[in-house]
Amino acid sequence: MQTHILGYPRIGSHRELKKACEQYWSGKTTLTDLLETGKNLRLQHWKIQQEAGIDLIPSNDFSYYDQVLDITLTVGAIPERYQEITSKESNTELDLYFAMARGYQKDSLDITAMEMTKWFDTNYHYIVPEFRKDQKFNLFSTKIIEEFTEAKQAGINTKPVLIGPVTYLLLGKEKESGFDKLDLAENLLPVYLEILKQLEHQGAEYIQLDEPFLTLDLNEKAKETYQWVYSEIKRQFPNLTFIVATYFDGLKDNLSLAAALPVDVLHIDLVRAPEQLEEVLSTIPWSLSLSLGLVDGRNIWKNNFDQSLVFIHKAVAALGTERVFIAPSCSLLHAPFDLDLEKNEDTLSPEIKQWLAFAKQKVQEIVILQKLASGNPDYNVLQKLAENKKAIQNRATSTLIHNQEVKKRVDATTEEDAQRNNPFNVRKEVQQEVLKLPLFPTTTIGSFPQTIEVRSWRSKFKKGELNAQQYDQLLKEETQRTIQWQEEIGIDVLVHGEFERNDMVEYFGEQLSGFTFTQNGWVQSYGSRCVKPPVIYGDVHRPHPMTVYWSEYAQSLTQKWIKGMLTGPVTILQWSFVRDDQPRSLTCKQIALAIRDEVQDLEKAGIRIIQIDEPAIREGLPLRKAEWQNYLKWAVEAFRLSASGVEDATQIHTHMCYSEFNDIIQNIADMDADVITIECSRSQMELLNAFADFKYPNEIGPGVYDIHSPRVPSKEEMVELLKKAQSVIPAQQLWVNPDCGLKTRHWEETEKALIAMVEASRELAASY
């Protein structure tokens, strides 16, 4: 029985890679410095796995930005517009790579970034490959080979990990009509074969090809492509051992397809889909080994060894030890680094800490499971089993978890609690009377730049170098400057800037009961951006108001409307590590009631516009369509529950990023927010069509510029986008705003962009 890891987190236990990338981008360090950091991290992560005793350690799971973009560069699928970057001598391969990820505004070039979207149902974002009809591929980057040889020099014969060719194609976007991206398999395959040839030549024995699309609904063409691609691969490389990795859901109706692929090992996710084991065992042919994804790669709870051993014994009984591999459910990219770094007992109590395992601990769990399953575990290992049983037992019965008041309130909620007093057309009039907003009102999504200073105040405050009063004063001054600046440039609906917030979910988690948080539990969200999800371990409620202080303060500074800023229940759920001892829907309802209390308190404090951000609604969708409506029903209801406790005159906004809306537009409408702001600029307003076709009745603010890139949009560009929007959505329904919050931007570009945005709105309004 062999152990393996599908992928290790790469950002560094102290976010070293994030810092190194950002310094390189800002020109503060050289390429050599960045490459050095990358190399050190890879080595460090390989060593952790080696020392733990893992049999097959992955390589090429490292990435400077995103593993999908890595493959795009590897196979040379470089969109035309980056040509000029390549032709410029001083630009390295990595500069091209970062330009594709982040856009490029230098040397009188102005090139937009590639699109980004969520990686399946996670909060990780990948860069979407762009495909043309006559798409050519060639081996452009040899990163994967280099990382393999680098590990070999360090004495580790790794298992290179690649996104499988079919999944890679399915992740991409057809940039013109008249072809199906799967048709490109024929052109793409030779590049994969070339990579495999070089890897084999360098001494690779195991290759992991990630094919998570095997757990999704597939059409006939995709199924045929799978069969064809994998028979070609195996035919040409009979001596390589191929592990095809599936995760995030069960194989279900694709089981016979997956089982028939002529590969050597099939990896299945037994955390998301434990029920599939029996059927898989009775389906796979003798030629196929099975990798059991036992340890949750996406959550932080300790593995239940007893339960995992039942799975292992079942598999061994059916297949024999030789044919069984054990592993985490998916790449550990989605788990934080190391629980041992959590030393602050005030934030993470020892009782809760003993229920948890991060990436490093999960690696150890895999090895312990292997030893436990292998017949005669030594004293040490048996000791670990005893400790594990104790921790699992303690969590099941802990008094920290249950709050009868919360349970009673949840039981007492009615359907009416999730209904506004009147329908939108009635509310709209009342709101217009009170708010008196112009045509094409301008606003922002909430946060303003979290500058180095702002962050340094927070860290000084945490370290005790600033007292509460000093910290509060600094934040107030920053808020005041921001309010004043928004007034000056003529924004209609102002925000306070969210300077007091470290993160849009953690900030709320810190103030809600049932949540705890970590000091170092970072996970990568996109590129160098990391998040530190709170841990929801128990029943949730709101002991005191969370945001009223800041919204009230901001409103006291201006005659204009301040928009109160909250994170919605689904997003809080989605971006936290959620307890797995009760249904997610129930935990979500508890959060919704807490947010409802906050919305009502804001209203009482005189805040007339309240935004409840729900950027994560869509990413919570189950991967299989058959399960969508069930999820959407409770998710939409949770939002409504949080939003419906107010008067008609109070305008509720919501915000979503990156979402595609076509298939859930009815549910979005059911949320019944008075105004929704959405991501739109990267897709040139394409996303708006869903709203137009649906005749979406409420108001919409399609993002008019991309805040994920430092690029400053021109006024003309935004006018063009708005005209496009206005050609499909009536002007009376339109708002003008950026794509998302501005916290990751600098003031310099923010100022220029927002001034141009206000001008764009004015120019358009003037034509009425």
Detail the residues annotated as belonging to a binding site for L-homocysteine. 445-447, 498, 613
Q: How far apart are CA 573 and CA 534, in angstroms?
A: 9
- 379-418 binders of Zn ion (CB under 5 A): none
Q: How far apart are CA 137 and CA 763, in angstroms?
A: 44
Q: How far apart are CA 334 and CA 119, in angstroms?
A: 11
Query: Which CB sits closer to ligand GLN, 245 or 610?
Result: 610
521 belongs to the binding site for ligand GLN (CB under 6 A)? no
- 621-640 binders of ligand GLN (CB under 6 A): none
What are residue 737's phi and psi, to 5 degrees? -160, 160
Partner whose footprint covers residue 446, from Zn ion, ligand GLN, none (CB < 5 to 8 Å by kind): ligand GLN
Known binding residues for Zn(2+) are: 655, 657, 670, 679, 740
Q: How far apart are CA 370 and CA 365, in angstroms?
A: 9
116 belongs to the binding site for Zn ion (CB under 5 A)? no
Query: Which CB sits closer to Zn ion, 63 or 567?
Result: 567
Cα separations in angstroms, 667 against 92, 303, 414, 621, 635: 46, 36, 20, 12, 9
Query: Which CB sits closer to ligand GLN, 656 or 721?
Result: 656
Binding residue for ligand GLN (CB under 6 A) from 103, 250, 328, 615? 615
Buried b / exposed e over 526-541, threshold 16 CB at 10 Å, is bbbebbbbbbbbbbbb
Evaluate whether 72 touches 129 at the Cβ level (below 8 Å): yes
**Direct distance between the N- and C-terminal alpha carbons of the chain, in angstroms, rounded to an integer:** 72
Binding residue for ligand GLN (CB under 6 A) from 125, 655, 711, 745? 655
Known binding residues are: 15-18, 118, 123, 445-447, 498, 529-530, 575, 613, 619, 655, 657, 670, 679, 740
3-state secondary structure of 106: strand
Stretch of 302-310, 415-423, 608-616, 759-767 lying at the interface with Zn ion (CB under 5 A): 608-616
Binding residue for ligand GLN (CB under 6 A) from 292, 359, 504, 523? 504
687 belongs to the binding site for Zn ion (CB under 5 A)? no
- 654-683 binders of Zn ion (CB under 5 A): 657
657 belongs to the binding site for ligand GLN (CB under 6 A)? yes
Q: Side by side, which strands form the sheet with 535-541?
A: 513-516, 535-541, 577-578
Distance of closest approach, residue 668 Cβ to ligand GLN, in angstroms: 15
Evaluate whether 729 touches 694 at the Cβ level (below 8 Å): no
Q: How far apart are CA 697 and CA 656, in angstroms?
A: 17
Sole residue written with tokens 């990795």: 245
Partner whose footprint covers residue 532, from Zn ion, ligand GLN, none (CB < 5 to 8 Å by kind): none
Q: Torsion over CA of 60, 63, 66 and 71, rounded to 10 degrees?
A: -40
Known binding residues for 5-methyltetrahydropteroyltri-L-glutamate are: 15-18, 118, 123, 529-530, 575, 619
| Catalytic-role residue among 313, 334, 708, 746 | 708
Evaluate whether 442 touches 493 at the Cβ level (below 8 Å): yes
Binding residue for Zn ion (CB under 5 A) from 509, 615, 620, 701? 615
User: Minimal CB distance to ligand GLN: which residue?
Assistant: 741
Residue 643: closest CA among 612, 676, 682, 675: 612
3-state secondary structure of 451: coil
Query: Which CB sits closer to ligand GLN, 384 or 743?
Result: 743
- 739-768 binders of ligand GLN (CB under 6 A): 740-741, 743
Distance of closest approach, residue 615 Cβ to Zn ion, in angstroms: 5
Distance of closest approach, residue 524 Cβ to Zn ion, in angstroms: 17
Residue 533: closest CA among 579, 565, 495: 579
Distance of closest approach, residue 615 Cβ to ligand GLN, in angstroms: 4
613 belongs to the binding site for ligand GLN (CB under 6 A)? yes
Evaluate whether 68 touches 167 at the Cβ level (below 8 Å): no
Binding residue for ligand GLN (CB under 6 A) from 103, 172, 446, 509? 446
Sign of the torsion angle spanned by Cα atoms 482, 484, 490, 496: positive
Known binding residues for L-methionine are: 445-447, 498, 613
445 belongs to the binding site for ligand GLN (CB under 6 A)? yes
Evaluate whether 146 touches 169 at the Cβ level (below 8 Å): no
Can 541 be counted among the known catalytic residues?
no
Residue 498: closest CA among 509, 487, 485, 507: 507
Distance of closest approach, residue 501 Cβ to ligand GLN, in angstroms: 8
Query: Which CB sits closer to Zn ion, 172 or 615?
Result: 615
496 belongs to the binding site for ligand GLN (CB under 6 A)? no
182 belongs to the binding site for Zn ion (CB under 5 A)? no
Distance of closest approach, residue 142 Cβ to ligand GLN, in angstroms: 36
740 belongs to the binding site for Zn ion (CB under 5 A)? yes
Cβ atoms < 10 Å from Cβ of 285:
8
Evaluate whether 549 touches 501 at the Cβ level (below 8 Å): no
Distance of closest approach, residue 405 Cβ to Zn ion, in angstroms: 33
Query: Which CB sits closer to Zn ion, 292 or 740?
Result: 740
Distance of closest approach, residue 123 Cβ to Zn ion, in angstroms: 12
Percent helix, strand and coil across the chain, each to the nearest 5? 50, 15, 35
Partner whose footprint covers residue 565, from Zn ion, ligand GLN, none (CB < 5 to 8 Å by kind): ligand GLN
By the criterion CB under 5 A, which residues form the site for Zn ion? 615, 657, 740
| Residues forming the active site | 708
By the criterion CB under 6 A, which residues form the site for ligand GLN? 445-447, 498, 504, 565, 613, 615, 655, 657, 740-741, 743
